[in-house]
Amino acid sequence: MSATAAVRTRAVAGAPARRRVWSYWRFYLALSPFYVLFAVFGLYPMLSTIVLAFQRWDGLSARKFTGLDNFAFLVRDPTFWQALENTVVLFLMSTVPTLVIALLLAVMLQSAVRFTSVYRIAYFIPNVTSLVAMAIFFSSIFSTNFGLVNAALRSLGIPQQDWLGQPWGIKIAISTMIVWQWVGYNTLIYLAGLQAIPKEQYEAAKVDGAGPVRTLFSITLPQLRPVILFTVIMSTIGGLQTFTEPQVMVGNSGGTGQSGMTVVLFFYRAAFLDNDYGYAAAIALSIFLLVLLFTAINWRVFRGRGEDR
Amino acid sequence: MRFRWRGLALHAVLVLALLVFLFPFVWTIIMATNTTADIYRFPPKFSFGGHFFDNVRHVLDNVAFFQSMANTAVVAISTTLLVLFFDSLAAFTFAKFRFPGRNALFVILLATMLLPAQLAAVPQFQTMALLGWVGSLKALIIPGAANAFGIFWMRQYFRSSIHDELVEAATLDGCGFFGTYWHVALPSARPALAFLGIFTFVGSWNDYMWPLIVLTNPDHVTLQVALSTLNRAHGVDYSMVMTGALLAMIPLVIVFAVFARQFIKGATEGAVRG
Amino acid sequence: MALTRRTLLGGFAAVAGGALVGCSSGMDTGTTKKNTATELTMWCWPGGLGKSVLDDTIAHFPDPKIKYSEVGGDFKQKLVTTFNGGTSIPDITGLKGEDIASLLPQAERFVDLKTVGADSVLGDYLDWKVKQATTLDGKVIGLPIDVGPTALYYREDVFAAAGLPSDPAKVAEQLKTWDDFFAAGVQLKKANPKAPMVWDATDLYDMVVGQDTERYISKDNKFIGDQDHIRKAWDTSVKAMTLQIDGRTPSGKPDWNAGLDLGTIPAHIGAAWVALDIKSAVKKSAGKWRLAPTPGGPANFGGSFLAITKNAADPQKAFDVIKYMLSPDNEAKAFADAQIFPSTPAAYDKPQLKAADSFFGGQVPIDIFGPAAKAIPVAYQSPFDDAVAGPFHDELKTVQTGAKTSDAAWSAAVSKAKAIAKRQGVQ
């Protein structure tokens, strides 16, 4: 790759090998919008979040440096631990089914001959819909006396459940919505990955007499590993930031026993409802560490084994 | 014979999944065309009713729906156009040229994808306050005008779909850097642009927490905030809320329908292969 | 594009400069900036003010023109972020009763109404209500719009069918305490298993807390949420659950709306403004509802204020506007408009309030709400009261669903509430 790139550069600029950095200004200008925006609206706020995490501030009076107070309080705040647990449980309850279903659908879609584009478009539609509208929709179908889910249960002779009033019911409702929304997206990504696997590998497996299950485990999954890593990381980043679904479905308090309280909702409350900005910053930093930790774990699980590339 | 059965079973599962995915939309339409009383009875009513326009009127009585839809459209369209331009330009530069610091800049770009932006909301809000943008739509458009994911995505596409010879040829024809981008790179990247465009449009349309925080001016709320207001009103009228939900989804479905083919192509073609 | 970039660079320089100058600058840029005098902006939430009163006020004060905005969603959050953002701050704003205590520490955002001549009218309003908007050093930041004295709303037909007293006078006599109320609930359940007396036991909890003269935090800033008066309210709520007369239907939800009409929610205890919710929710049962005093004594729920921000271009003018809007005559009109219950006792004698209400079978609501409004117990409400109360609600719900025992949920609630209190500097 580097050889062709060198040719290209010469072709475009037609300049000698050693030039001043400034002569590349067009490229830097082309890249600048992202970096400038990031510096102003990304980097600077994050740096001040770090500073803020060591301060106490209500948004009105002067800021006070309080050292590690915010963190000391955070580790002893039962609501924080609960929010953490909720977030991880919700993440597992939604991401695992999403990715498994998406993978199965992708494998099936690839072996189906007809109507594949109809399926693909239809599967993706949940992802291009209004999130708040769908959160309202899901809270209505899970409502106690008049919800569709309970109507279905009753017609099967099963007693109705108070879905959005029960700690586990809240989690089921929220993760159902996330699964519904993200299966199609991940199916498309997996399908792209599947199409990139060379056909010869499958033919060779067929010659060896491997059945569909063995083919799945010996060829499809290993070949798909980087794509799976990509989807797992994207789901981790998204899943650990769940906010809209619980906020719309059970409100700012997080519902019964705060079982819909996610870390981002906890953060939002501390900052914009309680005006406890320093504490909110400390929460934000902890969530960031959590995301890093999860990403690192994912990386090890999906990439670290055997061949490092 | 066995083969045929397998095909049928396959399609049966796929169609079932399709119904599950599309059901909420159908049910939303049913709720939006009936009265709340029709929805909340057992067994529930499963057919379309004739109350849609009454419900629309109720929505309009409660929130400035079209105003907030217009605001959302302005935000989503401008954000999308800016993202498409800035991201593809940066991606093209990364994909096809060498210059000092390229790798370092790219690594920084990848690293920023890990930073959860919404957690920096407090200082971001302060920044907006300093710029005097609180309550204005600028506060939604400008910070999202370029993003790392889009640059990453487009770069993968440019690398695999544009031949170096093409870039060289364009240069020999006298196209400058920008000319090559405009005349060669952009036209060949339509599927990828469609994907990124829809992705951005939907994301911007759906953004909830940030508008909730930063749009303090009641005349400038976005659709998602207006919808949640509708949902919070005391003694909620569900068929009205679902009508609002339906109206909020229609533009997205239209945009998606128009670009669906390009989009699917972009999503499945080459993009993740890099 | 170039413009954007330049603005951005400018912005970046400003931000970097701001960061260097010091961290104490920041969100409070707007406090000193006055609004323009060409317009008088006013914010309130949907249904917060009477429509005819509002129209009349706008017509009455043509110069400068009043621009009224209805702000939906979480009103307090919107208001506080707007203050912090420093732009488009209204001249006059509504403040909700449940938010007033937590806004008192931000009193410097608001004009002390005593400085613009409020002293002459403060005496016209219910004393305990004015106190809610008074800081410890005596500043008054809001003039009361309305109050929310509670009463027992009940279905006369459902009560009668179960052999319970159904005439308001008899109900008042027999359902004096919570124990009476629950005993009647048990009898009702026997006669009519589909009609739980309590609509939602966790909602009931708040009513019982509101009947006491102490809440979660004492006047000298100590956490008292773990003490007997709160535990008593908690146990009252749990008792409704264990007696199985709890309908588990929080008010304002579709299930509640439907239940009122179906007779499956035969009673509700709520503030005067709940009448509007019930009236808009029911069709068939109009005329079958009655009012009686709250078992165990009246409490107050909600009831809001109008305040003037420091940004107001002309605070005196703004005060004239709110004084006009909240005069006894106009408060009586607002009651006729939208059941906004007056905060000035002088309004209780106006014809709009003396009118019999056919929805309540010809009962005169003021006969119940008027005495209740005057007998509200005055409780100190700390700015952090609301935040501390949160865990109690959330944990009580776990008892209701059977996920936790009462004692386990209680200790979880107390420990979470203590953590929040400690965070806010409460001992």
pLDDT digits (tens, 9 = 90+) for C199-218: 999 999 999 999 999 999 99
Residues B161-184 have a mean pLDDT of 84
List the 190-209 stretch of C: residues with Cβ below 8 A of A: none
Which pLDDT band holds residue A2 (cuts at 50, 70, 90)? very low
Taking phi over 0 as left and psi of -120 to 50 as alpha, with beta for the rest, C138 belongs to left
By the 10 Å C-beta count (0-12 exposed, 13-18 middle, 19+ buried), A184 is classed as buried
Interface test with A, best of B84, B119, B265 (most A CBs within 10 A): B119
Q: Which residues of A touch C249 (CB under 8 A)?
A: 144-145
* Residue C354, both tokens: 């003396």
Q: Which residues of B touch C78 (CB under 8 A)?
A: 216, 218
Amino acid at A102: A
Q: Find the range with the poorest average confidence among B44-53, C26-35, C349-358.
A: C26-35
Indicate whether C141 pLDDT > 90: yes
ipTM: 0.84
For the stretch C214-237, pLDDT in tens is 999 998 899 999 999 999 999 999
Indicate whether C358 pLDDT > 90: yes
Assess whether the previous peptide bond of B187 is cis (omega < 30° from 0): no
- Contact status, residue A258 vs residue C396, Cβ threshold 8 Å: no
Of B202, B189, B103, give the one whose Cα is nearest residue B153. B189
Residues A102-120 have a mean pLDDT of 86
User: Which residues share a beta bridge with C134?
Assistant: C140
Indicate whether B230 pLDDT > 70: yes
For the stretch B120-148, pLDDT in tens is 888 888 888 888 888 889 999 999 899 99
Main-chain phi, psi angles of C263, to 5 degrees: 85, 5
- Contact status, residue A192 vs residue A198, Cβ threshold 8 Å: no
For the stretch A25-49, pLDDT in tens is 889 999 999 999 999 888 888 888 8
Q: How many CB atoms lie within 10 A of CB B26?
A: 12
pLDDT of residue C11: 35
Average per-residue pLDDT for chain A: 84
Indicate whether C15 pLDDT > 90: no
Which pLDDT band holds residue C425 (cuts at 50, 70, 90)? confident
Contact across the interface for C80 and A272, Cβ inside 8 Å = yes
**Beta carbons within 8 Å of B28's beta carbon, 6+ residues apart:** A133, A137, B242, B245, B246, B249
CB pairs under 8 A between A and B: 285
Of C23, C253, C397, Cβ closest to residue A51: C23
pLDDT of residue C53: 94
Of B190, B83, B92, B82, give the one whose Cα is nearest residue B147. B83
The residue of chain C nearest to residue B142, with distances taken between CA atoms, is: C4
Give how far the C-alpha of residue A301 lies from the chain's centroid of Cα atoms, to the nearest Å.
17
Indicate whether B119 pLDDT > 80: no
pLDDT of residue C22: 34
Distance separating alpha carbons of residues C13 and A40, to the nearest angstrom = 9
Indicate whether C18 pLDDT > 80: no
Distance separating alpha carbons of residues C107 and C110, to the nearest angstrom = 5
Residues B37-63 have a mean pLDDT of 82
Strand residue runs (E) in chain B: none
Residues C343-358 have a mean pLDDT of 93
Residues B220-247 have a mean pLDDT of 80
pLDDT of residue C19: 36
Distance separating alpha carbons of residues C337 and A260, to the nearest angstrom = 38
Contact across the interface for A144 and C11, Cβ inside 8 Å = no
For the stretch A166-185, pLDDT in tens is 889 999 999 999 999 999 98
Task: Report the share of chain B in percent with pLDDT over 70.
Answer: 92
Q: Find the range with the poorest average confidence among A149-163, A175-189, B157-171.
A: B157-171
The residue of chain C nearest to residue B210, with distances taken between CA atoms, is: C81
The residue of chain B nearest to residue A26, with distances taken between CA atoms, is: B177
Q: How far is B56 from chain A (nearest CA, A)?
A: 15
Q: How many CB atoms lie within 10 A of CB A161?
A: 18
Indicate whether B153 pLDDT > 70: yes
The residue of chain B nearest to residue A238, with distances taken between CA atoms, is: B116
Contact across the interface for A146 and B39, Cβ inside 8 Å = yes
**Beta carbons within 8 Å of C339's beta carbon, 6+ residues apart:** C272, C273, C275, C276, C279
Distance separating alpha carbons of residues A144 and A161, to the nearest angstrom = 6
Indicate whether A92 pLDDT > 70: yes
Residues C242-251 have a mean pLDDT of 91
For the stretch C283-293, pLDDT in tens is 889 999 999 99
Using CA atoms, how far residue C304 sits from A3, C309, C310, in Å, is 73, 16, 19
Tell me the pTM.
0.82
Residues A266-275 have a mean pLDDT of 86
Residues C363-392 have a mean pLDDT of 91
Of C18, C70, C254, Cβ closest to residue B218: C70
Residues B241-255 have a mean pLDDT of 88
Average per-residue pLDDT for chain C: 88
pLDDT of residue C17: 35
pLDDT of residue C94: 95
Indicate whether C28 pLDDT > 70: no
Which pLDDT band holds residue C4 (cuts at 50, 70, 90)? very low
Distance separating alpha carbons of residues C27 and C254, to the nearest angstrom = 40
> What length is written for chain A?
309
By the 10 Å C-beta count (0-12 exposed, 13-18 middle, 19+ buried), B146 is classed as buried
Which pLDDT band holds residue C13 (cuts at 50, 70, 90)? very low
Average per-residue pLDDT for chain B: 85
- Contact status, residue A154 vs residue A160, Cβ threshold 8 Å: yes
The residue of chain A nearest to residue B238, with distances taken between CA atoms, is: A140
Which pLDDT band holds residue B219 (cuts at 50, 70, 90)? confident
Residues C340-362 have a mean pLDDT of 93
Which pLDDT band holds residue A8 (cuts at 50, 70, 90)? very low
pLDDT of residue A18: 57
Q: Find the range with the poorest average confidence among A1-10, A60-69, C362-371, C414-423.
A: A1-10
For the stretch B75-91, pLDDT in tens is 999 999 999 999 999 99
Amino acid at A181: Q
Contact across the interface for A30 and B273, Cβ inside 8 Å = no
Distance separating alpha carbons of residues B271 and A74, to the nearest angstrom = 41
Which pLDDT band holds residue B269 (cuts at 50, 70, 90)? low
Q: How far is C7 from chain B (nearest CA, A)?
A: 9
Which position has the higher pLDDT, C7 or C366?
C366
